[in-house]
């Protein structure tokens, strides 16, 4: 493992100093190579699918795993889109001259070696490798075991293009020890690895956070809220609540708890329930909600839950302060929204709620790299530092200060 990561570290100096046009040319060659090798990729993917069937994986899981001609073309297209993104390295973030006459520039640079732990969809392998490559980083990929054959062939197709261009194949690496022990070693190698991005279940993320000595940017759960204020446009409120909960309940930016101002609860909630019923949404509610709707009582536990399914809890609150306090207690700092026409209430919510994304009069479902205009996304960070919320390619860079002198010494 140590030798493997030493090679990755050495490769990081090479990829960091490639010219933009070289990187873009290679990314387009990688796209071509995926398409040219599509039959090989489909054959290897078939092995994963067969094992998955033997292991009785759900049909949803099988679909996530499946690669066909169309999906491989989509993977290639994603690589060409990443090639077309603006160069993320060398952006001047700030610059100034200090009294000593030194000229200082704050400039973006690659992070170095990035370990990424993810599951299922094999397209993540090529997307992530391409995002890391474009931003001048080495990636060490640890995909799900269920996609072992698919990830191996995709990585080897991309590596072949690197080698054809005289570059070390370690620039795109798969973690050689694809087990929990392998992860355990990787996350402690702070001498070689600069960042770990775990995307996956709570147990994995907890394990990584507790054991890593390498800095971690987590992609953890979303317990998202929507607060319907007394000054809400109720038509918008209804439409946004349905979208936030029902459009894709398995997404981390989907709604878990609806907070409703008491003064409009009796008009709003019956109509809201009718709309949710039409979507077969499972509703629980607080005691006050139960006075208005025929629903089960929501427990303390329910308010902490990321359902990942078409289910939610409703709570009636006194005012925006109670809504903000509820979110501070139960929210996971992901995405929170208020529906109101009241300027002061809206400002208070936007300023006082601490989350990666705080919305007014919009669905929480927009928390997404694509919707934010970042192009391909690395994921949605639930970290508070370095990268927060939708992570685009610029979040795969850090910075250094370049300082230009003319012989200055410190007095």
Which residues contribute to the site for a second copy (CB under 8 A)?
Answer: 13, 16-17, 96, 98-100, 102, 104, 109, 111-112, 190, 194-195, 209-210, 213, 215-216, 233, 236, 239-240, 242-244, 247, 328, 350-352, 354-363, 365-366, 371-373, 383-386, 388-390, 398-410
Helix (H) or strand (E) holding 196: strand 195-198
User: Based on CB atoms, which residue is closest to a second copy, 120 or 243?
Assistant: 243
113-117, strands of its sheet edge to edge: 172-174, 138-142, 113-117, 195-198
User: Based on CB atoms, which residue is closest to a second copy, 10 or 46?
Assistant: 10
The least distance separating a second copy from the CB of residue 380, rounded to whole angstroms, comes to 11
The least distance separating a second copy from the CB of residue 402, rounded to whole angstroms, comes to 5
User: Based on CB atoms, which residue is closest to a second copy, 36 or 103?
Assistant: 103
User: Based on CB atoms, which residue is closest to a second copy, 67 or 187?
Assistant: 187
Q: Tokens 């610029």 identify what position?
A: 394
Residue from 380, 383, 393, 57 nearest 208 by CA: 383
User: Based on CB atoms, which residue is closest to a second copy, 74 or 354?
Assistant: 354
Report CA Rg, the chain: 24
Q: Is the dihedral of CA 126, 382, 374, 239 positive or negative?
A: positive
User: Based on CB atoms, which residue is closest to a second copy, 155 or 217?
Assistant: 217
Our CA dihedral for 296, 300, 302, 304, rounded to 10 degrees, sits at 160
Cα separation, 340 vs 338, in Å, equals: 6
Cα separation, 339 vs 362, in Å, equals: 7
The least distance separating a second copy from the CB of residue 328, rounded to whole angstroms, comes to 6
Evaluate whether 334 touches 353 at the Cβ level (below 8 Å).
Answer: no
The least distance separating a second copy from the CB of residue 181, rounded to whole angstroms, comes to 18
The least distance separating a second copy from the CB of residue 265, rounded to whole angstroms, comes to 21
Helix (H) or strand (E) holding 105: strand 103-110
Q: Is the dihedral of CA 334, 115, 192, 87 positive or negative?
A: negative
The least distance separating a second copy from the CB of residue 4, rounded to whole angstroms, comes to 18
The least distance separating a second copy from the CB of residue 98, rounded to whole angstroms, comes to 5
User: Based on CB atoms, which residue is closest to a second copy, 291 or 371?
Assistant: 371
Residue from 336, 377, 355, 382 nearest 206 by CA: 382
The least distance separating a second copy from the CB of residue 87, rounded to whole angstroms, comes to 13
CB atoms within 10 A of CB 171: 24
Evaluate whether 389 touches 368 at the Cβ level (below 8 Å).
Answer: no
User: Based on CB atoms, which residue is closest to a second copy, 247 or 342?
Assistant: 247
């Amino acid at each position: 493992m140590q030798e493997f990561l030493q090679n990755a570290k050495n490769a990081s100096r090479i990829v960091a100093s490639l010219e933009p046009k070289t990187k873009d040319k290679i990314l387009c060659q990688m796209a071509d190579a995926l398409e040219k090798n599509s039959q090989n990729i489909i054959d290897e993917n078939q092995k994963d699918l067969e094992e998955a069937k033997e292991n009785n994986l759900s049909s949803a899981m099988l679909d996530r795993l499946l690669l066909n001609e169309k999906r491989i073309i989509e993977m290639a297209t994603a690589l060409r889109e990443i090639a077309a993104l603006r160069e993320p390295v060398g952006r001047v973030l700030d610059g100034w001259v200090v009294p000593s006459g030194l000229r200082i520039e704050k400039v973006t640079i690659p992070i170095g070696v990035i370990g990424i732990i993810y599951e299922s969809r094999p397209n993540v392998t090529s997307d992530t490798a391409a995002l890391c490559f474009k931003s001048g980083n080495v990636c060490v990929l640890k995909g799900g075991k269920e996609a072992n054959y698919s990830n191996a062939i995709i990585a080897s197709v991309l590596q072949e293009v690197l080698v054809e261009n005289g570059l070390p194949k370690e620039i795109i690496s798969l973690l050689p020890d694809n087990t929990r022990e392998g992860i355990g070693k990787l996350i402690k190698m702070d001498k070689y690895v600069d960042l770990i991005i775990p995307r996956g279940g709570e147990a994995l993320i907890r394990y990584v956070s507790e054991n890593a000595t390498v800095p971690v940017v987590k992609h953890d759960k979303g317990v998202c809220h929507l607060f319907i204020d007394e000054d809400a446009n109720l038509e918008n409120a209804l439409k946004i609540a349905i979208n936030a909960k029902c459009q894709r309940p398995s997404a981390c930016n989907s709604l878990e708890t609806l907070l409703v101002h008491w003064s409009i609860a009796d008009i709003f909630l019956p109509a809201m329930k009718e709309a949710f019923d039409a979507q077969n949404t499972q509703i629980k509610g607080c005691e006050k909600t139960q006075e208005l709707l025929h629903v089960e009582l929501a427990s303390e536990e329910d308010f902490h839950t990321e359902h990942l399914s078409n289910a939610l809890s409703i709570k009636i609150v006194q005012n925006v302060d109670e809504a903000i306090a509820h979110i501070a207690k139960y929210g996971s700092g992901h995405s929170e929204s208020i529906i109101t026409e009241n300027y002061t209430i809206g400002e208070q919510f936007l300023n006082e709620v601490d989350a990666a994304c705080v919305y007014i009069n919009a669905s929480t479902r927009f928390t997404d790299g694509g919707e934010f205009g970042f192009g391909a996304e690395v994921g949605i960070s639930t970290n508070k530092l370095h990268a927060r919320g939708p992570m685009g390619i610029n979040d795969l860079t850090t910075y250094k200060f370049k300082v230009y002198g003319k012989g200055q010494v410190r007095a």
